[in-house]
Amino acid sequence: MPVAARKKPSRIPDARTTPTIDQVGIEERVARIKARSIKKETKVQGMKLALSMIDLTTLEGADTPHKVQQLCYKGMHLHDSLPGLPTVAAICVYPTMVKVAKKALGNSGVKVASVSTAFPSGQAPKAVKIADTKYAVREGADEIDMVISRGHFHSGEYDFVFDEIAAIKEACGDARLKVILETGELGTYDKVRLASDIAIAAGADFIKTSTGKISPAATMEVTLVMLHAIRDHYMRTGEMIAMKPAGGIRTSKQALHYLMMVKEEIGPEWLDPHWFRFGASSLANDILMQLQKEADGHYQSADYFSID
């Protein structure tokens, strides 16, 4: 599903053009969703859908080809004793491991995502970030996860942030671009909404909460603010933008609440791995444990599942 190039807006979003967020309203809405339960059959279907939306990730200095190959195998064969499970959506690695992941995944349909732009800090010259991105794409990355320059954002240099995202989008070629806002460093819901609007206007295919390297990472409240930015863009243009909460989502119950929120706030069309992802490797193991429990009434030990 290719995304057409977007025209540069006549005015780059800023605090004067972005809606003010009702913090109490956001938190009350999330609290109502969290209070709800999901019945058994719907729960199983929801957990399988969540599995298909996971980006399994390894982003450590000690990563080796063998570790990446092992993660790719897990992504394609989540739990051999439970037939009919989907693959994950993508394997996310550093640019130097893209070729290893691409070969290991073969024609499985699992995407290769690569972080870029001096992940996780984003502290590098634009030329280095562009070179980083082009290298990952040449190695075979299907998706690029970039981080915005939070220092420039906090300094009010919104043109800089916009132009940098647009330049990385161009460097991506046919690869889809996920723009990481690092919401835990933005401070307020109003700033999260502004950063979301800038990223979408600059050409993001996904907007993503976090690198997973700082706390807090993804929260339902922050994700709801970002979903509203996606909804408003869709209402204006008819163009769908994808969403990826990342970091801190560890249980199937949390994942199901996220899926409920997506369906009710922006529509069932987004309940597809092309339009919604979880950046949460540990989530896969919890879902597998819950599915095993639903299948035979017994929990397996966590030792039965590989640690990512």
Which positions are annotated as active-site residues? 145, 208, 244
The C-alpha angle with vertex 147 and arms to 165 and 58, in degrees rounded to 5, equals 135
The identity of residue 41, as a single letter, is E
How does 9-48 read in b/e, with b if 16+ C-beta sit within 10 Å? eeebbeeeebeebeeeebeebbeebeeeebeeeebeebbb
Smallest CA-to-CA distance from 135 within 83, 92, 95 is with 95
| Residue ranges in the chain assigned as alpha helix (H) | 23-34, 40-52, 65-76, 98-105, 126-139, 150-154, 158-172, 189-202, 220-237, 252-265, 281-296
3-state secondary structure of 139: helix
Phi/psi-derived region of residue 37, left when phi > 0, alpha when psi is between -120 and 50, beta in every other case: beta
DSSP 8-state code for residue 89: S
Backbone angles phi, psi at 115, to 5 degrees: -70, 160
The alpha carbon of residue 294 and the mean position of all alpha carbons in its chain are separated, in whole angstroms, by 27
Closest CA to 211 of 179, 167, 171, 176: 179
